[in-house]
Amino acid sequence: MKKIKIVLLIIFIFVLSGCGEYTCPDGYTLNGKSCSKDINTDVLVKYECPENYELISGECQMTITADATASKYCDKGYEYSDGICILVDKKAAAAKTYCISGTLKDGLCYEVQYSTPKASGSFCPEGYSYYNDSQCYRYGSSVPTKTIYKNGYTTTGCDDGYELYLGSCRKKIIVSKEASYICTEGVLRNGQCVSERYISIARTDYSCEAGYNLIGATCLKTDVKDYKTKYTCTKGYTLKNNKCHKVLKAEKTEVKYCEDGIIPINEKCVGKVIIRAEKK
């Protein structure tokens, strides 16, 4: 076994001789006019970065900054001309189609009538299979997660109520059949029979948002405003406050060290620290 060398670091602080009692900080032992403390701990670890880099969130980073490229542009619909943005906007007016009475459907107005459907048997919900005249079933499955201890070994199994089948846990889920209904008139919607009777063609009103003038079914607007400036960066840079920034990364260096000036050896900090004792 390789003999571990212990480095003894002694820091002598010379003081003038004097009278009185001496004391040491907690953890130190008084020896005449000095205090000593034995050190035997694991080395500490810190990380250092290359020059101009700083350690941020465990990484060595350096941010470089460049001027962004400025370009003039206009809002959507505007065109740039001689230092200003001009808009001649033409678009379809907003249409609101409605019925004075009845219900709107495909541009026509109908009177909606409701009636009670008639029962016509029962069926299984989607995903379920026939079980008996009144019930349906399906298998629910899960991954075996239960820990089982048997004969000194550990294995995984199924929770209570489940059975192991082809590497998975499955459980038979049984539900009642759902009733089936039919309508003698109309179609079945939300448990009711719905039928429709034509009344008339729907009416349509047109409108424009603020700043537009309505002409037939068209909205028109003209406007002039100042251009805007857009800043962009080359690939790899991020725009912030109209400047382009890029974060460079470098490998960090692991540095092992000890406190109190002790030199680390074999992943340990071993030594003795001596300081001046204080007079009471």
**CA separation for the pair 87, 257 (Å, rounded):** 69
For residue 181, give the amino acid letter. Y
Task: Please give the structure tokens belonging to residue 220.
Answer: 């028109």
32 touches 14 (CB < 8 A): no
Q: Whole-prediction pTM value? A: 0.33
**CA separation for the pair 33, 278 (Å, rounded):** 8
| Beta bridge partner(s), residue 182 | 118
Q: pLDDT tens, 83-123?
A: 899 988 888 999 999 998 888 888 999 888 888 888 888 88
Which residues 6+ apart lie within 8 Å of 155 measured at CB?
147, 148
Domain ranges of the chain: 15-43+258-280, 118-182
Residue from 106, 166, 116, 121 nearest 141 by CA: 166
| Beta bridge partner(s), residue 24 | none
| Beta bridge partner(s), residue 157 | 146
Looking up tokens 């003039």 gives: 72
Task: Please give the structure tokens belonging to residue 20.
Answer: 């009185």
273 alpha carbon, distance to own chain's centre: 50
Residue 280 has what pLDDT? 77
Residue from 271, 207, 191, 221 nearest 86 by CA: 221
Which residues 6+ apart lie within 8 Å of 116 measured at CB?
192, 193
28 alpha carbon, distance to own chain's centre: 51
Residue from 200, 185, 205, 166 nearest 117 by CA: 185
Please state the φ and ψ torsions of residue 82, each to the nearest 5 degrees.
50, 45
227 touches 79 (CB < 8 A): no
Residue 103 has what pLDDT? 87
- Residue spans of the chain under pLDDT 50: 1-18
Task: Please give the structure tokens belonging to residue 132.
Answer: 């008996």
Residue 19 has what pLDDT? 54
| Beta bridge partner(s), residue 59 | 56
Give the burial class of 258: count Cβ atoms within 10 A of its Cβ; 0-12 exposed, 13-18 middle, 19 or more buried. Answer: buried
